[in-house]
Structure 1
């Protein structure tokens, strides 16, 4: 699912402002930060999911993606750095 994480007008970060219950229609309002996973772009989310389904095997990921082990390792390292940056943002 493609969830917008940046403002289309100014490119600022979007936050969740309201949640609705589909069962009883209760609404919860406030300002909530998106989970780190949801702040990744769709391609990064798909990589994380595939990595999880590969039991964290870089070798399996390289095979599935048709890429070399070092290429997948570098992509994973870049993603780890991005996640670390996102976790430390306020």
Structure 2
């Protein structure tokens, strides 16, 4: 983004929603605009699968790519157990539509979740969500 656009536009960017707040279907990009000159383009544009990732998923993908696919490195960087790193990676693959049908969800067990809360690698809210899924 150019300095001129930053100065003229908002000081922070917001992530565009990916799902319709009414029906839950995926939203389509239909308008693009230039913050500098005001030019607008209207049409139906191809969606960006990676743009729909939340901050945690984007971080997982960034760390995975930076570690060249080494889940042990991902585990160390994120401060989680190997099963949790693998589960997050599998969740990311599923969200992107890249998981094979034979791949079963690999969620951490109760003891792993509680251990990660105790070590500070997992927040109590995240743990509660994971425990509710067991």
TM value normalised by structure 1: 0.73
Match of 1:62? 75
The structure whose Rg is larger is 2
Secondary structure class of the residue paired with 2:47: coil
Higher relative strand content = 1
Secondary structure class of the residue paired with 1:84: coil
Q: How many pairs are equivalent? A: 85
Q: Write out aligned runs for 1:32-43 (5 A).
A: 32-43=45-56
Stretches of structure 2 lacking an aligned partner (at least 5 in a row): 1-13, 99-134
TM value normalised by structure 2: 0.53
Contact 2:32 2:42 in 1 (8 A): yes
Task: Please point out which of 7, 15, 18 is paired with 1:2.
Answer: 15
Match of 2:44? 31
**Alignment pair present for 1:49 and 2:62:** yes
